[in-house]
């Protein structure tokens, strides 16, 4: 019998690391605990020496995609009375700070649930799990726990709490866990501040279909969205944003749409589908629809894929005929000002530009614009703007 203490540093908070440690220890029949501390995660494991020896190796095999171990200290300590393995309450005692996990694009599991009519989170625009959703933009302090983020405003319902406390559930200790019963909600207002009738998301889609400009609150701030086929709306957006020629970014429905507009390499595809999901500046193909000239009169376009459940629903809402396969998606701000994060500020500053405002009540604590990469020769890419997903 032996007991060892493992001290981990890296991107290990808010990415499902502790639940993975928990499951790893249980799979080896070990006892002990795992605990978040301000700058690190500490795990003490106890059991037969040959099983304890396998712990760190197996943990690396099980490491969540968004997690990264930068350093690991491993030391033998005295054996204690221990009958189970537990996740203990976080402890904020260190004066150093860990890397804050970045905001992560929706994962494939959540995307599947989002469009599964049998799933309790069907069409829920704030679906998340331990592998995706807001992190950096909602954290107030470390360690990363629900109580130290703006998600503390939402008390989990019975079902969400069951998932949160079930070691076999993929939302075990998911700090952003919520559903339509207990989580954030959407509101749609006109530019006078009046609440619009009907379901906010469906009404917003109809507005976009009509060529209206939508101010949309995302993970790290507001976007201004419009269908590029409506040239008058695009011209108004250019005028109000004071962007006479500077290209706008495009959010496209899917990879197929991206291929119709730009030259997309395999490495570009990996980046577009990555957890960072940045804007990538790509070479424009010949003979694309002429209305895209209003987006950019250059030989390239900034392309990104829908990276939140809310964005996905704007393009792929079941039962709704959606004619657009691309939307201008530009930062919601005035010239030379930072991206706007609060609904009231958006109404005040963008009211002359946007026709409608679709926003939520999950507080954004750190603004976070879209990251931008420039396609480079070969497999490389140059970071033009490091922000969402990369900080």
Q: Do 215 and 337 fall into the same domain?
A: yes
Last residue within a domain, chosen from 34, 62, 87: 87
Domain membership of residue 371 (yes or no) is: yes
Q: Do 259 and 368 fall into the same domain?
A: yes
Last residue within a domain, chosen from 52, 87, 122: 87
- Digit-by-digit pLDDT tens for the chain (391 residues) are 999 999 999 888 888 899 999 999 999 999 999 998 877 899 999 999 999 999 999 999 999 888 889 999 999 999 999 899 999 888 765 555 667 789 999 999 999 999 999 999 999 999 999 999 999 999 998 778 899 999 999 999 999 999 999 988 999 989 999 999 999 999 999 999 999 999 999 999 999 999 999 999 999 999 999 999 999 999 999 999 998 888 999 999 999 999 999 999 999 999 999 999 999 999 999 888 888 877 877 788 999 999 999 999 999 999 999 999 999 999 999 988 999 999 999 999 999 999 999 999 999 999 999 999 987 766 678 888 889 988 7
Domain membership of residue 149 (yes or no) is: no
Domain membership of residue 369 (yes or no) is: yes
Domain membership of residue 180 (yes or no) is: no
- pTM of the complete model: 0.88
Q: Do 78 and 193 fall into the same domain?
A: no
Domain membership of residue 20 (yes or no) is: yes
Is it true that the peptide bond before 143 is cis, omega within 30 degrees of 0?
Answer: yes
Domain membership of residue 343 (yes or no) is: yes
Q: Do 81 and 194 fall into the same domain?
A: no
Instruction: Write the CATH number for 20.
Output: 3.30.70.100
Instruction: Write the CATH number for 359.
Output: 3.90.870.10
Q: Do 78 and 190 fall into the same domain?
A: no
Domain membership of residue 226 (yes or no) is: yes
Beta strands in the chain (DSSP E): 2-11, 31-36, 41-47, 68-77, 85-87, 186-190, 214-217, 222-226, 249-252, 279-283, 300-304, 326-331, 356-360, 372-375, 381-385
Domain count, the chain: 2
**Domain around 58:** 2-87
């Amino acid at each position: 019998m032996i007991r060892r203490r493992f001290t981990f540093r890296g991107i290990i908070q808010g990415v499902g690391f502790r639940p993975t440690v928990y499951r790893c220890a249980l799979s080896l029949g070990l006892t002990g605990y795992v605990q978040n501390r301000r700058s690190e995660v500490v795990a003490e494991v106890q059991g037969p020496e040959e099983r304890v020896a396998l712990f760190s190796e197996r943990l690396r095999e099980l490491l969540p995609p968004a997690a990264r171990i930068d350093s690991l200290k491993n030391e033998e300590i005295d054996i204690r009375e221990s009958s189970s393995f537990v996740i203990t309450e976080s402890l904020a005692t260190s004066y150093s700070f860990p890397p804050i996990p970045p905001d992560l694009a929706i994962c494939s599991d959540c995307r599947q649930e989002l469009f599964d009519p049998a799933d309790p989170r069907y069409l829920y625009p704030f679906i998340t799990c331990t592998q995706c959703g807001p992190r950096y933009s909602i954290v107030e302090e470390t360690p990363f726990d629900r109580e130290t983020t703006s998600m503390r405003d939402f008390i989990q319902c019975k079902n969400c709490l069951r998932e949160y406390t079930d070691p076999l559930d993929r939302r075990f200790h998911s700090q952003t866990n919520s559903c339509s019963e207990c989580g954030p909600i959407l509101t749609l207002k006109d530019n006078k501040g009046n609440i619009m009738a009907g379901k906010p998301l469906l009404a917003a889609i109809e507005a976009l279909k009509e060529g209206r400009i939508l101010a949309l609150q995302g993970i790290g701030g507001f976007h201004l969205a419009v269908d590029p086929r409506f040239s008058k709306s695009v011209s108004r957006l250019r005028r109000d944003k004071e962007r006479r020629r500077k290209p706008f970014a495009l959010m496209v429905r899917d990879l197929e749409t991206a291929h119709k507009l730009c030259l997309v390499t395999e490495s570009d595809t990996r980046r577009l589908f990555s957890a960072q999901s940045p804007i990538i500046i790509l070479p424009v193909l010949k003979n694309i629809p002429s209305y895209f000239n209003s987006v950019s009169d250059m030989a390239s376009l900034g392309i990104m894929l829908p990276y939140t459940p809310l964005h996905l629903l704007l393009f792929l809402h079941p039962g709704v005929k959606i004619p657009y396969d691309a939307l201008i998606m530009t930062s919601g701000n005035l010239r030379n000002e930072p991206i706007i994060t609060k609904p009231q500020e958006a109404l005040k500053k963008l009211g002359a530009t946007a026709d409608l405002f679709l926003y939520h009540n999950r507080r954004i604590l750190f603004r976070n614009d879209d990251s931008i990469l420039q396609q480079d020769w070969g497999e490389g890419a140059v970071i033009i703007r490091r922000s969402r997903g990369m900080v």
